[in-house]
Amino acid sequence: MNGVFETTFSDPSARALHGILCVLTEMKTDMTSMRTSMETIAGLYSESVVMVRDSQAKASEILAAHQERIDQYNDANGSGATSPPDLFPLKDAPVGTVAAELPNGQRLLTLSNGLILRTEEDYTITAVLPSGEIKNVIPGPSNELHVDAGLVLTLDDAYLKRPGTQDGIQGLPPGVVPKALDEDRVSVTLPSGIRVDLLHDEMMLNVILPEGIVLMGGATTLAASGDTIQKHSLPDGTGFLLETSGVGGILYADGRVELSLPDGTDLAFTLGKTSGGQNPDVPADSLCQGLSCDLRNV
């Protein structure tokens, strides 16, 4: 037999076939080992899938239990509905805006782009730009707030209607600050160009409109230049109305004044009550600049 095998394997084709058979035998052994490993991995994967599904089911049960308790609490406290964020004084703002109330009652808003807005007591708004620049923005007359290039925010209408009170003058628009002409005289210039002067030492007021109409009023004087005035006696004072310009109001006997102006501003103050301020750079007779001061005695 040895001779037969030697003869058989002496043939080149037989030797090649024998080599291929050996290689295939080794590959079969390796593939059997790989199949065993794959079956082991598949078993571990199946166990992992089962564990993950069990964990997800338990997590869902926990979340459902928490949600049920939250719903029960909201139902008990009448707060089932989610309240929208309070972005006042803005009517709307970019997504991500965070609002907070400061200890002094003012509002602080931080926008997602880094812009910071803070309301002030005089109803202006301080803006801190992402670049670090600080700007003081005066709202009005529209509710569009132009803070930075390309960014226009919308103010709540209620903020524009919130009256300020400075130096005893109620109803001042945002950003309007009375100017002390001297110790007993104050001047207010509104965004519309209307000027109101309070002469506390004389218990008088002057209202000067951009078109040149002038109202002079006080304890003993009520007259107008450039317009016709209508007067109405009241138990505690005198009501008045300028026919063309629409300036109107009430002068009370105790010095109180209610003043309605054509730009929609309503002011209230008391003549004779001074702020004690003084501006030495403004001469006392500046109240009469461009006017005939004796008009007050018409």
pLDDT 10s digits, 110-145:
988 888 999 887 778 898 988 888 888 877 667 788
- Residue 211 pLDDT level (bands cut at 50, 70, 90): very high
pLDDT 10s digits, 177-203:
788 888 788 899 998 999 999 998 889
Q: Is the model more confident about 199 or about 60?
A: 199
Q: Are strands 125-128 and 116-119 parallel, antiparallel or unpaired?
A: antiparallel
- The pLDDT value recorded for residue 145 is 84
With 90 as the cut, is the pLDDT of residue 282 above it?
Answer: no
Per 3-state DSSP, the chain is made up of helix, strand and coil in percentages (nearest 5) of 30, 30, 40
With 80 as the cut, is the pLDDT of residue 60 above it?
Answer: no
Mean pLDDT of 134-160: 79
- The pLDDT value recorded for residue 140 is 66
- Rounded to 5°, the CA angle 77-80-86 comes to 100
Mean pLDDT of 76-83: 57
Q: Hunting for tokens 């109305």 — which residue is that?
A: 241
- The pLDDT value recorded for residue 82 is 55
Decide if 205 contacts 257 (C-beta within 8 A). yes
What proportion of the chain, given as a percentage, has pLDDT over 70? Answer: 75
Helices 12-77/2-9 angle, 10° precision: 80
With 70 as the cut, is the pLDDT of residue 251 above it?
Answer: yes
Mean pLDDT of 7-11: 56
Q: Are strands 107-110 and 151-155 parallel, antiparallel or unpaired?
A: unpaired
- Residue 287 pLDDT level (bands cut at 50, 70, 90): very low
- The pLDDT value recorded for residue 113 is 85
